[in-house]
Structure 1
């Protein structure tokens, strides 16, 4: 908080005091001490204000491309795993991969994402959301090139790891950047729409896979296709400004050139909202500073603080949701969609990958429904409804493999039900919640832990699925996922709060 004015003849107002004074409030210390509730009221009254959806497009679009590239990797890998194991189509002499080797290829990007999440924990607050996304787009380009040109199995795995590090950084920084730059009224829509981009990426990957799976060495083309999109993301993030909230956090932590950070925050906010500085300063920026003005002298968060107080509660909620997001079988259904469909009677490689496109379209439709209603219906109802459907679909898959193998359409229906319910619930809501619930000072580190848990669980399920399927059988394995899904539903009902209609600062103050 700003200190008292020592020289009444030459008053030196802080940045926050200047903003408040433009709103017609006194800049004195006494008024600052009692300004919190009136300012909250003013911000609440401004919620009906007009905001530019057009101006919000680019700050959303380029970070969301990182999600699209993540989804593309999932879809392309579904086809690439079929191509790699084919003696006629792989174009290699090392096509005869064991189940463990195939698991390493499929989950290689997930393990890379784990590494990226660890890196993000240590450097994210220093780099900022924008520069982290620039680095991730660079890693996408390098990883895709290495993978597409890999002369042997070892280099292929290295390329998958490098690409995966880019995924880890993207899925850490993109939700934060979108959440911190989006107008409160459409924050849920935009972050959920990022999940739409992930699904679009999957659909693109499934489509490219179906077109190129019959080519010799088709898996190389599948992975190389991501390079142009990675370049577009790189250029777009170079153009966008840094997150205004991150710049204000830098200012509050008493770094060098504090005033410069504050001024840059205002300019970045203006560029993102597409309005002149004088309008933004007087009409919008106080919304972002409701609670920040009382944290101006806060120091940088310590490692211990991440596991205390508000952040600990946010960690329990966020890590719990993303953990259950993965261990209810999502990686298995997505990465092994083509393989599962082959066991259901779609024996030709091209036939199974084309049916995967149907899954992609269904995911896109279901995600679109979630995007349209998330800010109206809320987060909890979508989670509860979707996870209930996931439970039903997993037990249907278990029933097919255990009892109904002569009725293959049961597996197809179960897959369609699973992906649609997942996209109504865990898919968009998981990433939305972890981008909303962490306090600003701890958001970078807290979200990196949640992303680490997400990809850790993803890597475990993805790698273990193939060996466990051989050991236990697919029926028992999917029944186990169904039991875990029941536990996830209980967790959601007990622990997950509703965050719709609240600013990030209000979520921190009122819910946590």
Structure 2
């Protein structure tokens, strides 16, 4: 087996002639993998899991930031617990601390559009880890409010890059039999991070300058993530894309891809089998016209536009079907039902976080058996029911708090079975390889942009419409999303990334 270079993404850029012929729309009869017999993709479980863990730390740190910030904002504006002279912050300043990482994530998503295919998935995650570390330390050690906001922005840029590159790296390196489980498990790590943030924050919220410790906790994990990504091999598919686009020596890149795939699959898959799989992928990329670099205009044409519609549609509906609003009302709903913990917003957050964790775990276990579409259709259908129940509670069933509690738990659970993990899974699978970097950056930008829009529009809409009509409106949007899923979103269970492009787009 060829030795793996210390950084296989930093190969010479000597250009060779392109391999294969360019084609427009895919003719599946021409694609060797589709027409021929697929090679059995054996793998070592340990070898397949390890490349997932380090990218997933990017999701863990994202979730941790959400949970920790909810507690940190309480600590930083306390006259007795802040430990600063600038604790008297306005609501706008607190909003900047809270949403600073979101603004940074939007910037990171825009940056990813131009640098993703140049850096490669692995090095993009290494850059994200550095930004996580710098952002966490700057925020924790900040001498004033302005520097704190800068730290939050830097951390957020790391979030944008990590949420862009992690799904791609996992999708491109995972065996197709467990690809859905591993990418969905990244959502599990996000929720796990949220629960950890809420829990650690609840312990430190009464400590002087506790907010500094809350933000500082993330820095060791960022170091582990960065070292882990440096140690992991590059994405073989990204290397082969570089080869087919003439961005390096074809044979060197092919041999490096074989070496990387051998590491990713372990001893269960012999070198001959790995070589055969790499050559299959290389031939498919050639037949599918991957030798040209993607342009912005191409993103909105042909099969690329279909992938963009599926990806951005899912992440848009993921955000505009009411999740922030439902969670906003969680404390008051549980309090009205007589739960003593409801008076403590942090404990309510932990309770719901544990439920989200359990339901995401269920989705992880069944996604590659049941499929993506059944989970989306079933989960969103029950989300519609729960939103109608919440709308009814705030309109004419205010004397039946049990209805609201059931609706709240049903909504949170079904969201984590459907939009929560499956949205991220589908956007990592659906884009053709040469468009995946740019396509996923657009999808992530839409995700964070819609998140910001819903967050900022919620209070004015609540004041204008009232809680009941607002939840009915979200139910209507969820029905539209069901129609979108039924008619537009394909089933990708069990298909390789190349088969998804050839058969479904």
Q: Report the CA distance between 1:91 and its aligned residue.
A: 4.1
Match of 1:494 among 468, 477, 487: 487
Which stretch shows the higher mean deviation, 122-131 or 69-78? 69-78
Distance 1:106 1:34 in 2: 49
Measured against aligned partners, the alpha-carbon deviations of 1:9-29 in whole angstroms (never above 9, x if no partner) come to: xxxxx9999xxxxxxxxxxxx
Measured against aligned partners, the alpha-carbon deviations of 1:125-149 in whole angstroms (never above 9, x if no partner) come to: 0000000000001111111112223
In the other structure, the counterpart of 1:131 is: 123
3-state DSSP of counterpart to 2:178: helix
CA contact (8 A) 1:110 1:164 kept: yes
Distance 2:148 2:479 in 1: 37
Shift in CA distance, 286/211, structure 1 to aligned 2, threshold 3 Å: same
TM-score (norm 1): 0.86
Distance 1:152 1:260 in 2: 51
CA contact (8 A) 1:132 1:170 kept: yes
Task: Structure 1: state its 5+ residue gaps.
Answer: 1-13, 18-32
User: 1:48-197, aligned counterparts within 5 Å?
Assistant: 49-92=41-84, 95=87, 97-197=89-189
Match of 2:223 among 215, 231, 235: 231
Does the alignment pair 1:388 with 2:381?
Answer: yes
Which stretch shows the higher mean deviation, 237-246 or 287-296? 287-296
CA contact (8 A) 1:78 1:338 kept: no
Distance 2:259 2:34 in 1: 23
In the other structure, the counterpart of 2:12 is: none
Distance 2:219 2:497 in 1: 34
Distance 1:144 1:339 in 2: 32
Does the alignment pair 1:243 with 2:235?
Answer: yes
Shift in CA distance, 104/281, structure 1 to aligned 2, threshold 3 Å: same
CA contact (8 A) 1:254 1:299 kept: no
3-state DSSP of counterpart to 1:51: coil
Measured against aligned partners, the alpha-carbon deviations of 1:345-401 in whole angstroms (never above 9, x if no partner) come to: 779898321221111111111111111111111111111111122223333334444
Q: Report the CA distance between 1:295 and its aligned residue.
A: 5.4
CA contact (8 A) 1:391 1:482 kept: yes
3-state DSSP of counterpart to 1:300: coil
Measured against aligned partners, the alpha-carbon deviations of 1:283-302 in whole angstroms (never above 9, x if no partner) come to: 53345345124358822222
Measured against aligned partners, the alpha-carbon deviations of 1:101-156 in whole angstroms (never above 9, x if no partner) come to: 44333222111111001000011000000000000011111111122233443333
CA contact (8 A) 1:398 1:474 kept: yes
Distance 1:297 1:88 in 2: 60
TM-score (norm 2): 0.87
In the other structure, the counterpart of 1:425 is: 418
CA contact (8 A) 2:43 2:266 kept: no
Shift in CA distance, 153/391, structure 1 to aligned 2, threshold 3 Å: farther
Shift in CA distance, 382/104, structure 1 to aligned 2, threshold 3 Å: same
Distance 2:174 2:85 in 1: 50
Distance 1:422 1:377 in 2: 16
Q: Report the CA distance between 1:324 and its aligned residue.
A: 0.7
Match of 1:354 among 347, 359, 362: 347
Does the alignment pair 1:461 with 2:428?
Answer: no
Shift in CA distance, 295/334, structure 1 to aligned 2, threshold 3 Å: same
CA contact (8 A) 1:43 1:286 kept: no
Match of 2:249 among 241, 252, 257: 257
Does the alignment pair 1:217 with 2:209?
Answer: yes
Task: Structure 2: state its 5+ residue gaps.
Answer: 1-16, 21-26
Does the alignment pair 1:318 with 2:311?
Answer: yes
Measured against aligned partners, the alpha-carbon deviations of 1:70-111 in whole angstroms (never above 9, x if no partner) come to: 111122223234434545544455555555444333222111
Shift in CA distance, 476/98, structure 1 to aligned 2, threshold 3 Å: farther
Measured against aligned partners, the alpha-carbon deviations of 1:317-342 in whole angstroms (never above 9, x if no partner) come to: 11000001011123445588668867
User: 1:405-424, aligned counterparts within 5 Å?
Assistant: 410-424=403-417
Q: Report the CA distance between 1:41 and its aligned residue.
A: 5.0
Q: Report the CA distance between 1:56 and its aligned residue.
A: 0.4
Shift in CA distance, 297/220, structure 1 to aligned 2, threshold 3 Å: closer
**CA RMSD in angstroms, aligned pairs only:** 3.0
Shift in CA distance, 476/220, structure 1 to aligned 2, threshold 3 Å: farther
Q: Report the CA distance between 1:490 and its aligned residue.
A: 1.8
Distance 1:255 1:373 in 2: 39
CA contact (8 A) 1:378 1:499 kept: yes
Which stretch shows the higher mean deviation, 384-393 or 99-108? 99-108
What is the total number of aligned residue pairs between the two structures?
482
CA contact (8 A) 1:114 1:455 kept: yes
Distance 2:217 2:30 in 1: 52
CA contact (8 A) 2:254 2:278 kept: no
Shift in CA distance, 139/102, structure 1 to aligned 2, threshold 3 Å: same
Distance 1:162 1:426 in 2: 28
Which stretch shows the higher mean deviation, 316-325 or 71-80? 71-80
Shift in CA distance, 337/504, structure 1 to aligned 2, threshold 3 Å: same
User: 1:273-288, aligned counterparts within 5 Å?
Assistant: 273-275=265-267, 278-288=271-281
